[in-house]
Structure 1
Amino acid sequence: MRVKAVISYDGSHYQGFQKQKSTKMTITAAIEKALASLQIDSPIVGSGRTDAGVHATGQVIHFDLPDFWSDLEKLKHNLNRKLTDISFKHISVAANDFHARFSAKKRVYRYVFKTHKPSVFEHKYISYYEAFDPALLINALKIFEGEHDFNFFHKTGTITHTTIRKIYRTDYVERNGYHFIYFQANGFLRSQVRMMVDAAMRCARGDMSITQLQEQLTCQKKHTTKLAPPEGLYLSRIVYG
């Protein structure tokens, strides 16, 4: 039986979502270890990969259950007892052809930051940027909307069939001293969101012009390859159907 699970995790102590040969400290490795302890040997498949230090409030995974596991509430309870910094929010039966990654239609990332240094209780979960112009930030974010070749907005080293992605919507909101940037797209390349955030913030602080941002987005010239700090990034929602 194939199941779909919505999970959240604190990525602070992990080297990313994807399994790696060089370390066992990944979200995938931790979940598969917990599953194996419950006699579930299925690998998990995620809707997308997150970098080291990046969090999730709505990551979706799928895996296959042996016949003797039919009580999904009990399964969720047992997994949450065994896992640290990872929480199963929902587990539900899925169609046999459901695929957490390939069945997804939209992905939403949220970036959270402050303009003064976060406290010691926040610094693993909120990033820091110096004072900026919100109007310039909104203008910069709007540049990313639509379908573009993001070849100059991702880290290399991961095989991908195409660097073209469609961003349906961007948003910026400020609430009580916390700043939120949102990206909704059909998919993202490796570290694309972090690179877009930092480029937009450079425009918002006057360190880069909108023209330079457009030049990079149209693959004419690279003006920056820096990444926003991982602490403020959250994979927040996956949309299916």
Structure 2
Amino acid sequence: MRVKAVIAYDGSVYQGFQKQTTTDTTVTNDIEKALRSLQIDSSIIGSGRTDAGVHATGQVIHFDLPEFWSDLDKLKLNLNRKLTQIQFKHISSVSNDFHARFSAKKRLYRYVFKIQNPSVFEQKYISYYPEFDATLLTQALELFVGEHDFDHFHKTGTVTHTTVREIYKTNYIQRNNYHYIYFQANGFLRSQVRMMVEAAMQCARGDMTVKQLKEQIECQEKHTTRLAPPEGLYLAKINY
């Protein structure tokens, strides 16, 4: 039986979502280790990868269960007992052709930051950007909406057949002392969200013009390759 699981995890303790040859400290490695302890030999497939330090509140994975694991509530309970930095929020059966990555229609990322230094209890989960112009930030974010070739907005080493992605919507809101940036798209390249956040914040702080950002989005000239800090980034929701 194939199952779909919605999970959350604290990315500050991991070197990323995907398995790596240089470390065992990944989200995938911990989940598969927990599955094996329950006599489940399946690998897991995620809706997408997250960088080291990046969190998730709505990552989706799929894996296949042996016949004797029919009680999904019991499975969730057992997995949550074994995993301390990862939480299984929902587990449900799906058709055998469901694929966490390729079946996904929309992906939503949330970026959280403050203009004051985060407290010692927030440092791993919230980023810091000093004063900025909210109007300029909104203008910068709007430039990303639509279908673009994001060749100038990803880390080198990205393996993909195309760098074209469609951003469905962006948003900036403030709640009390917390600031939130949202990106929803059909997909993202490696570190694309962090690079877009940093570029938009450079515009908002006067370090780059909106015209320069537009030039980079249109692949005319690359003005920045810096990444926003990973602590504030969350993979928030996957739509199927």
- TM-score band by shorter chain is over 0.9
Corresponding residue pairs, total: 240
Q: TM-score, normalised by structure 1?
A: 0.99
Alignment of 1:127-142 (within 5 A): 127-142=127-142
Alignment of 1:170-185 (within 5 A): 170-185=170-185
Match of 1:12 in 2: 12
Match of 2:206 in 1: 206
Match of 2:93 in 1: 93
What is the CA-CA distance between 1:106 and the residue it aligns to? 0.1
Alignment of 1:41-120 (within 5 A): 41-120=41-120
Match of 1:162 in 2: 162
Q: Does 1:26 align with 2:26?
A: yes
Q: Following the alignment from structure 1 to structure 2, what is the Cα–Cα distance between the partners of residues 237 and 174?
A: 20
What is the CA-CA distance between 1:84 and the residue it aligns to? 1.5
Q: Following the alignment from structure 1 to structure 2, what is the Cα–Cα distance between the partners of residues 182 and 164?
A: 19
What is the CA-CA distance between 1:159 and the residue it aligns to? 1.2
| CA RMSD between the two structures | 0.4
The unaligned stretches of length 5 or more in structure 1 are none
What is the CA-CA distance between 1:156 and the residue it aligns to? 1.2
Match of 2:230 in 1: 230
Spell out structure 1 runs of 4+ moving beyond 6 A.
none
What is the CA-CA distance between 1:104 and the residue it aligns to? 0.2
Q: Which amino acid aligns with 1:3?
A: V
Q: TM-score, normalised by structure 2?
A: 1.00
Q: Following the alignment from structure 1 to structure 2, what is the Cα–Cα distance between the partners of residues 101 and 167?
A: 17
Q: Following the alignment from structure 1 to structure 2, what is the Cα–Cα distance between the partners of residues 219 and 93?
A: 43
The unaligned stretches of length 5 or more in structure 2 are none
Q: Following the alignment from structure 1 to structure 2, what is the Cα–Cα distance between the partners of residues 102 and 170?
A: 23
> Percent identity between the aligned chains?
76
What is the CA-CA distance between 1:158 and the residue it aligns to? 2.5
Q: Following the alignment from structure 1 to structure 2, what is the Cα–Cα distance between the partners of residues 15 and 54?
A: 9
Alignment of 1:183-202 (within 5 A): 183-202=183-202
SS in 1 for 2:84: coil
Q: Following the alignment from structure 1 to structure 2, what is the Cα–Cα distance between the partners of residues 210 and 199?
A: 10
